[in-house]
Amino acid sequence: MIKHLRRRFILVAMLSVVLVLSILMGVINFSNYSQVRENADETLEMILSNNGTFPQMMPGGMGLPGERPQDFDRRFNEETPFEIRYFSVSLDEEGEADEVLLTQIAAIDEDEAEELAEELYEKKKTSGFVDDYRYLAKDTGHGTVYAFLNCGRDLISARRFLQTSILVSLIGMAGVFALLLVLSKRILAPVAESYAKQKRFITDASHELKTPLSVISSCTDVVEMENGASKWTEGIRTEVKKLSALIQDLVSLSRMDEEESKLVMSEVDLSRLVKDVLYPFALQAEEQGKKMKSEIENGITLKGNEKTLQQLVAILADNALKYSPDGDTVTFTLSRKGQKILLTEENASSLPAGKHEEFFDRFYRGDPSRSKQTEGYGIGLSLAQSIVNGHGGKISAESDGEKICFTVKLNG
């Protein structure tokens, strides 16, 4: 169990780190890309506002009439025309190229520029990226002007930043994972110690209780031999039997939780096993005025531990008979679905609709008062879950408001 807990701790911690790093990396890279796009659009708007060319520069600022944004001169200076590579294409009202300006670029010719602008006009595209070019369109009233800005360097820089951030994040994740592998054992040491003490207490207490129970049983035999059986001795035997069963369940649960213990697996005829286990419970159901119906598919086998699988079926059957109402029909089904083997038990119930994973908690009782009207100590289903987990399967309980169904999924 501690090993499983350690794995879950590492998994949750790593998922948290991956989520945080992914969000941070996504936000930073999206912001970086958005900045590239924003800067390109500002430059393109400047070109479009000057009839498809970048305006002439003068020392100390832009040679443009009218008001400028507060940070205008900070974004553009005398060197800007020599740093940017752009071209523009003017189209008439029919979308035919009218004028092409290629003075600030050498990587594209006039025919390519015209074809590109006309294609975007036909698709009614007004802004976006074409390869490494950011484009923007402006309606002039008597046509459309497309301006294209080469953003190759900025895009390469953004891509390199993305690659670097991914690499750094992966290295960081690997480092965190390595630290978790080393430190998780130390972090969970108090839990492991507490759990070990709990198991040792259960085992020791179980052995210690066996002796007085044996003495009580022997003394009861002597009393019956001398005075005959009575309701008092019968009550003693009943309680001793209950306590003995409780001790056995506690020991079984403790053994199933042992990390070192491995179930001895062999080929098991599950169909035959379920039928054999359910037979005496069917007779018991008749005595209680109930019915037990089974739909068992023949020939289902699996690699498993026969003894614990018998115990699993017995727990489900015993639980169904204890908690099903009088006159109810308890239904067991066993079938194969692809690579999975499904064992289900269904009986009437007034529980709220939904999943009820709390049934598998140790010492859980549906009746919080723990009255003795219904026998049981809340250990059976917890033990059933341990058995299923030991076979690499899953067990669940779900109610529809009228019936409750326990489903066991095993690997076939």
When pLDDT is averaged across residues 52-58 and rounded to a whole number, the result is 72
When pLDDT is averaged across residues 267-294 and rounded to a whole number, the result is: 92
E strand or H helix at 298: none
Does any domain span residue 300?
Answer: yes
Q: Are the C-beta atoms of residues 33 and 41 closer than 8 Å to each other?
A: no
User: Do 283 and 308 fall within a single domain?
Assistant: yes
Residues in the chain: 412
pLDDT at 107 (0 to 100): 86
CA 133/CA 149 separation, integer angstroms: 5
Note whether 330 and 212 are same-domain residues. no
DSSP string, 12-75: HHHHHHHHHHHHHHHHHHHHHHHHHHHHHHHHHHHHHHTTTSPPPEETTEE---S---TTHHHH
Please indicate, yes or no, whether residues 135 and 193 belong to a single structural domain of this protein.
no
Is residue 218 located within the same domain as residue 327? Answer: no
Query: pTM of the full predicted structure?
Result: 0.56
164 domain-assigned: no
CB 313 within 8 A of CB 385: no
- As a 3-state breakdown, the chain gives helix, strand, coil percent values, each rounded to 5, of 55, 20, 25
pLDDT of residue 3: 76
The residue type at 107: A
Whether the per-residue pLDDT at 150 is higher than 50: the answer is yes
Close Cβ partners of 107 (under 8 Å, ≥ 6 residues apart): 85, 150
Predicted confidence (pLDDT) per residue in 61-117, tens digit: 444 444 444 444 556 666 777 788 999 999 988 888 888 999 888 888 999 999 999
Q: Which residue has the higher pLDDT, 242 or 70?
A: 242
The per-residue pLDDT for range 300-341, each reduced to its tens digit, is 999 999 988 998 999 999 989 988 888 899 999 999 998 899
Is 379 found in the same domain as 309?
Answer: yes
In this structure, the answer to whether residues 209 and 91 fall within a common structural domain is no
Distance CA 178, CA 286 (A): 59
Residue-range definition of the domain harbouring residue 364:
266-411
| DSSP secondary structure letter of residue 230 | -
Tell me whether residue 172 is in a domain.
Answer: no
Q: Which of 48-52, 64-68, 225-229, 271-275 has the highest mean pLDDT?
A: 271-275
pLDDT of residue 376: 55
Query: Looking at the domain assignment, is residue 326 inside a domain?
Result: yes
Q: What one-character DSSP code corresponds to residue 351?
A: P
Q: In the listed set 155, 180, 202, which residue is the last one of a domain according to the structure?
A: 155
Closest CA to 314 of 358, 270, 280: 280
Q: Nearest to residue 99, comparing CAs of 136, 54, 146, 141?
A: 146
Mean pLDDT of 5-9: 85
What residues have CB less than 8 Å from 171, skipping those under 6 apart?
none
pLDDT of 259 > 50? The answer is no
Give the distance, in angstroms, between the CA of residue 82 and the centroid of all CA atoms in the same chain. 54
Q: What is the pLDDT of residue 407?
A: 95
**Nearest residue to 57 via CA among 71, 42, 73, 43:** 73
* Residues 355-372: tens digit of each pLDDT: 888 888 766 665 544 444
Sheet holding 86-91, edge to edge: 97-101, 86-91, 144-150, 133-139, 127-130
- Across the chain, mean pLDDT equals 84
Answer yes or no: is pLDDT of 142 > 50.
yes
CATH number at residue 203: 1.10.287.130
| Distant-in-sequence contacts of 211-220, Cβ < 8 A, 24+ apart | 213/240, 213/243, 213/244, 213/247, 216/240
The count of domains in the chain is: 3
Coil, strand, or helix at residue 128? strand
**DSSP characters over 59-88:** TTEE---S---TTHHHH--TTHHHH--EEE
DSSP, collapsed to helix, strand or coil, labels residue 179 as helix
Confirm if 402 and 348 have CB atoms less than 8 A apart. yes
Q: Which residues contact 189 (CB under 8 A, 6 or more apart)?
A: none
Residue from 82, 90, 86, 93 nearest 46 by CA: 86
Give the distance, in angstroms, between the CA of residue 271 and the centroid of all CA atoms in the same chain: 33
Residues 329 and 348 in one domain: yes
SS3 263: coil
Instruction: With respect to residue 124, please indicate whether it lies within any of the assigned structural domains.
Output: yes
Identity at 296, one-letter amino acid code: I
Q: Is the pLDDT of residue 125 over 80?
A: yes
pLDDT at 276 over 90: yes
Percent of the chain with pLDDT over 70: 86
**Alpha carbon distance 4, 11 (integer Å):** 10
Supply the pLDDT for residue 62. Answer: 46
Angle at 234 between CA 229 and CA 236, to 5 degrees: 120
Query: In the block, which residue shows the tokens 């096993």?
Result: 273
Closest CA to 97 of 46, 148, 143, 45: 143
CATH number at residue 375: 3.30.565.10
Would 335 be classed as within a structural domain?
A: yes
Question: Do residues 297 and 331 both lie within one domain?
Answer: yes
Q: Do 140 and 9 have their domain in common?
A: yes
At 331, give phi and psi (nearest 5°): -115, 125
Residue that finishes a domain, picked among 131, 155, 179: 155
Beta-sheet pairing, 97-101 with 127-130: unpaired
Quote the pLDDT of residue 261.
53
Strongest mean pLDDT among 82-91, 252-261, 273-282: 273-282
pLDDT classification of 378: cutoffs 50, 70, 90 = low
Domain edge (last residue) among 236, 257, 278:
257
Give yes or no: residues 241 and 322 share one domain. Answer: no
Q: How confident is the model at residue 404 (pLDDT cuts 50, 70, 90)?
A: very high
Residues 278 and 391 both lie in one domain: yes
Residue 41 scores a pLDDT above 60 = yes
Distance CA 39, CA 1 (A): 56
In a domain, residue 161? The reply is no
Q: Does residue 115 belong to any structural domain of this protein?
A: yes
Same domain, 230 and 303: no
Do 325 and 310 touch, CB atoms closer than 8 A? no
For residue 184, pLDDT over 90 is answered with no
pLDDT of residue 231: 86
